[in-house]
Structure 1
Amino acid sequence: MSAELTEVEREFYLEQGYLHVQGLLTPEEAAAYRAECHRLAERTGNTDATWTSVRDTSEGQKPRLSHCHDVHFYSAAFTRLLVDERLMRVATGIIGPNVQLHHTKMFIKAPEKGSPFPMHQDYPYFPHQNHSMIAVIVHFDDAPVEKGCLRVVPGSHKLGPLESVGADHHLPTDRYPIEDALPVPARAGDAIFMSYLLVHGSGVNRSQEPRTTVLIQMRDPTDIPLNERHSSRGQGMMLAGIDPRESKFEFAWERQTTRT
């Protein structure tokens, strides 16, 4: 970890596995990104990302979660966010000077029935050899407990990869119930950085307003993926520093031909 973090931030992240940075964006910036997310949701239509395990166990009114992958391919506003110096200060402080994009997602938890996320690690979806992968959740409106804010198990990143269950790779609910995890309420403009080994989830949005966030997954470019199941558009884009690996130059279409 580099010297870009303060000593307090560095120690907290190392011990807890996450870091809540308050006011990363101004309220005005957060409002503009929020509006951009909702315009994007209108353009892309019904894109429910509710997990299978949630659908199977829900009763009555079905939960909903609008989402969009690779948001930087739909709006230049998100491309600018990816390389924002305030965001990269923390990312380089955790990962090191070289930060590479893995993927982005937008989530809008609908009012009154916004879907929860059972407790899980991100590791099973895109495992890497050196576990450099982190996520940052950037909040564009307030996320109190009643909106289904992020919940974490502090220090659980030290347990390493855990055995998951189900098609969506969640953790056993009897061992990791959502209600026992620590809520991390956030304000518009806040950002929460976390290791992909941190056990985390979120509750149902029971409020009258949507909860709007963008998630950015990042890694050290030298960290070797253990599988290629989660490829996405723009993966490999450098957000900070350089890709120090030596490789023969190929055009993008030549690399695609080689893979197929």
Structure 2
Amino acid sequence: MTDPSMVRFYEENGYVLVKGLLTKAESRAYRDECHAVLARLRPADPTWGSARELAGGPTELRHCHDAQFYSAAFARLMVDPRFTDVAAALMGSENVQLHHTKIFVKPAEKGSPFPMHQDAAHFPHTRHTVGAAIFHFDDAPEDKGCVRVVPGSHRNGPLPHIEEGGWHLPLSEWPLDAAVPVPAEAGDVLFFTYLTVHGSGINRADEARTTLLIQFRDPEDRPAGDVHRSRGQGMMLRGFDPTDGDARGLRP
């Protein structure tokens, strides 16, 4: 059962770090799986242009969309009750639906930062139930570019973003260094709402930072536009889809 204080903290601050959701051994296995998947794929660097401006020099990022289509390990993790039960409690819904997944690896010494932004700018929804879970498969202290958040920023609703060089908030108004760092250990999972302003710093350490992102929503929360479609989007991770009958024309 999810601790009620965890839910209250999430509702007030827009994020919560769940310690030790995975064991250290599980984290090492998932870390190895992430790097094995990326080794099989053609290298691609999704670093935003504004991120390099923020870094003041060249940086790198490795990533993979829809991780569950490349390894069954991630398909199993997506429906693990340790994850889905927390997601359901934080959303206040018994039903948890997939939006998308991504592997992110920040290489050692020059892993790309992310300027401050809201995920809502990339895939707005009508009821704003969308949440994110970042699984840490190795330690993420500040020098490895851990996630930074602005507590309570979710209460401001959707904010205007800058499209040039990425899709982020104005750098001068939302400096990365002013945000609260959320260092994590292998096995920890950071949950936050898609309205929470967040970003992450440069990985300056001598080890890569390896994470898996799972974005989820209440199935009754509909997209506000036809954007950011992903393979497997709409898969139920917990419970059922109450809108399924309507979609198929099975209800009067």
Query: Does TM-score exceed 0.5, indicating one fold?
Result: yes
Asked whether the 8 Å contact 1:53–1:166 carries over to 2, the reply is: no
Report what 2:218 is aligned to: 220
What amino acid is the match of 1:158? R
Q: Is the 8 A contact 2:99 2:217 kept in 1?
A: yes
Q: Hey, what does 1:72 align to over in structure 2?
A: 68
- The 3 A distance-change label for structure 1 pair 89 and 172 is same
The residue that corresponds to 2:197 in the other structure is 199
Distance in 2 between residues matched to 1:45 and 1:239, nearest whole Å: 29
1:256 alignment partner in structure 2: none
Q: In the alignment, which residue of structure 1 is the partner of 2:111?
A: 114
Give how far 1:94 is off.
1.5
d(CA) in 2 for partners of 1:24, 1:171: 31
| Structure 2 residue corresponding to 1:169, chosen from 148, 167, 170 | 167
| TM-score, scaled relative to structure 1 | 0.92
TM-score by length of 2: 0.95
Following superposition, the deviation at residue 211 of structure 1 comes to 0.1
**Equivalent residue letter for 2:11:** L
SS in 1 for 2:64: strand
Q: Is the 8 A contact 2:16 2:190 kept in 1?
A: yes
Does the 8 Å CA contact 1:24/1:191 hold for their aligned counterparts?
Answer: yes
Query: How many residues are paired up?
Result: 246
Q: CA deviation at 1:70?
A: 0.1
State the distance in 1 between where 2:21 and 2:202 align: 25
Which of 81, 88, 91 is equivalent to 1:92?
Answer: 88
* Residues 144-192 of structure 1 deviation map (CA, whole Å, 9 limit, x = unaligned): 0000000000000000001111232211111110001000000000000
Letter aligned with residue 235 of structure 1: Q
**C-alpha offsets along residues 32-72 of structure 1, whole Å, 9 cap, x if unaligned?**
00000000110013111101212355544x10000000000
Inter-partner Cα distance in structure 2 for 1:70 and 1:147: 24
Instruction: Give unpaired runs (5+ residues) of structure 1.
Output: 251-260
Structure 2 runs not aligned, ≥5 long: none
CA contact (8 A) 1:143 1:187 kept: yes
- Correspondence for 2:151: 154
